[in-house]
Structure 1
Amino acid sequence: MPPPATERIFSSGDLPLLSLPGADGLITCQWTHETLGVPSSMEDGGDAIAERRRAQVGFVLVEPAWLVRAAAEQVRSPGVDAIVLHAHASPPGRSALALAFASHLRNVLRRPAPGLDPRLGNNVVTAGLRPDLAGFSDLVRVPHLVTITDGTGAVADTIVWEIMTGGQFDAWLDGAPRPDQRAIEAHLPGLLRLRGLHRSGRLDHRRAGALLDMLDGGQLTTRLIHRFPRVVLPLAAAA
């Protein structure tokens, strides 16, 4: 079973500085590890030697209609750990956030660990905007709820998309049946509100007791939503 997700709040300091052309394409990334030679803290997992990740980022021009197909091919290439679908018309910072979240997905949430399904140890494809998967029956788009903050300390939630293969999606669900993706996408505004209400402690235990018991003090994650949509979606509709 994949390890539980922990709260991660992305600030402007977490976003990579990208110099991108005014065109659609793919951002490619490979992370290399640099050994620092000093003992790591317990927050680093207690490893004997601390490591720092360095990113090698590239850009490949791709016609918009071919972005998904090209990403599915590129992510299997040697020297590529993550792909971000970039639309030049997207709001500023969306692709940078998608790349920062890709790093969090691959290097934290799905880093190799005992019990982790090997299908989830693969490289990741993310996008700041909802990708069009028409014609790709073997792929699934997953909307991740991501927490961001600005310089004032205000916190908000947004969506970063991940594209998975069917095998990755089933492994991520960890035995749960596939949910109705269209229903989940239709409830995204309510799910973002529900996540905010939970963070601020404003969920009514009389109505949301089952969900609060499932969360057990943790955050409302996309994975939990996909595994237990019958519990979560009615609350999102009323949020």
Structure 2
Amino acid sequence: MGVVVAATATPASRSFGARMDTLTSSEKTLTGERIFTSSDLPSLSLPDADGLVTCRWFQDPAPGRTAWRTSSQTYRPPLAAAEASAVDDDNFAPRGPGQVAFVAVDRTWLVREGMDRVRTRAVDAVVLHAKASPPGRTALALAFSAHLRTRQHRMGLGADVVTAAVRPDLAGAPDAFRVPHLVTVSDGTGTVADTIIWQVMTGARYDAWLGGAPRPDHVAIETALPGLVRLRHLWRTGRLDRSRADTLAAVLDGGELTAQKIFRYPRVVLPIATRALRGVL
């Protein structure tokens, strides 16, 4: 049985679960990465239970900035709880009213149930919610889902997305792969931090996302996450030494340090991340 998630216009909790670092004005211009603030997040009132937060966006021709607010329109779809306008300046981005709901699911079956729901195309995004997870973290995962599905669509990987604020347990879903995305957040005062939002994919989509690269050592990448978070900060602020910055630049090709680059080039990125965590760069 689905339970409607309460969504209001009140900004979501700023507890992103990440250490915040202050950037100077010049450092802020070093990256074109997507930075999420509290205004991008819905304010979710969730029950004390494990389950799925589901979202279905409805297309609207009017572009706009990310917004989550209480619906004031006459038309209100079943289980409608919020509206979401564009998360990206892209024609595919969700721009209209969004149907958001919560479905209680035993934690053992979260991944399988979430993937089954997006396969039906009845929803566009599913967030796996653990009852111990702060609502602000789940709200961030939902906001990131909207951004992620636009990027996936551009790559020809489909548009349905399954994310999680905490590391998902893949037991019971043998064909599933989890990917830790580095997500940048800001409290609106000029301080930023990097945190992890997880995505769950099928094996076929995962291989397509890798773009022909071999499947990397997942254990090694997950073990290196603290160093990767630190490396992303050093790369953003231009604090890597010249030789390692040049090595990293060669694989990033002028872009940011993303999960896709890490998974495609682990032999290049992981050693630098290890040194970043040790503070020897």
Same fold (TM over 0.5): yes
Q: 1:73 pairs with 100, 104, 116, which one?
A: 116
User: Which piece of structure 1 moves more, 162-171 or 129-138?
Assistant: 129-138
Find out whether 1:167 has 2:204 as its counterpart: yes
Match of 1:235 in 2: 272
Matches within 5 A, 1:1-239: 7-36=33-62, 44=89, 52-106=95-149, 108-111=150-153, 113=154, 116-117=155-156, 120-239=157-276
1:155 to partner: Cα distance: 0.6
> How many aligned residue pairs are there?
222
User: Which piece of structure 1 moves more, 212-221 or 84-93?
Assistant: 212-221
Alpha-carbon separation, structure 2, partners of 1:181 and 1:138: 14
Tell me the secondary structure at the aligned position of residue 234 of structure 1: helix
User: Which piece of structure 1 moves more, 162-171 or 58-67?
Assistant: 58-67
Query: Closer, same or farther in 2 for the Cα pair 1:234/1:33, shift >3 Å?
Result: same
Match of 1:3 in 2: none
Tell me the secondary structure at the aligned position of residue 246 of structure 2: helix
Structure 1: segments with no counterpart, 5+ residues? 1-5
Deviation string, structure 1 residues 163-218 (Cα, Å, up to 9, x no partner): 00000000000111110011000000000000000000101122342112332432
Q: Structure 2 length as normaliser, TM-score?
A: 0.74
Alpha-carbon separation, structure 2, partners of 1:44 and 1:24: 33
Q: Name the % identity.
A: 60
Where does structure 1 differ by over 3 angstroms across 4 or more consecutive aligned residues? none
Deviation string, structure 1 residues 56-90 (Cα, Å, up to 9, x no partner): 10110111111112112111224200100011111
User: Which piece of structure 1 moves more, 155-164 or 211-220?
Assistant: 211-220
Alpha-carbon separation, structure 2, partners of 1:8 and 1:56: 24
Asked if the contact 2:45/2:135 (under 8 Å) is kept, the reply is no
Alpha-carbon separation, structure 1, partners of 2:134 and 2:43: 15
Alpha-carbon separation, structure 2, partners of 1:153 and 1:22: 33
Tell me the secondary structure at the aligned position of residue 33 of structure 1: coil
Alpha-carbon separation, structure 1, partners of 2:89 and 2:243: 38
Tell me the secondary structure at the aligned position of residue 160 of structure 1: strand
Deviation string, structure 1 residues 110-158 (Cα, Å, up to 9, x no partner): 23x4xx33xx114110000000112422110000000000032201000
**CA RMSD, Structure 1 to Structure 2 (Å):** 2.2
Alpha-carbon separation, structure 1, partners of 2:110 and 2:244: 43
Query: What letter is aligned with 2:133?
Result: S
Asked if the contact 2:109/2:172 (under 8 Å) is kept, the reply is no
Alpha-carbon separation, structure 2, partners of 1:182 and 1:37: 41
Alpha-carbon separation, structure 1, partners of 2:275 and 2:190: 27
Asked if the contact 1:33/1:52 (under 8 Å) is kept, the reply is yes
Asked if the contact 1:35/1:51 (under 8 Å) is kept, the reply is no
Tell me the secondary structure at the aligned position of residue 151 of structure 1: coil
User: Which piece of structure 1 moves more, 174-183 or 130-139?
Assistant: 130-139
Asked if the contact 1:82/1:102 (under 8 Å) is kept, the reply is yes
Structure 2: segments with no counterpart, 5+ residues? 1-31, 65-87, 277-281
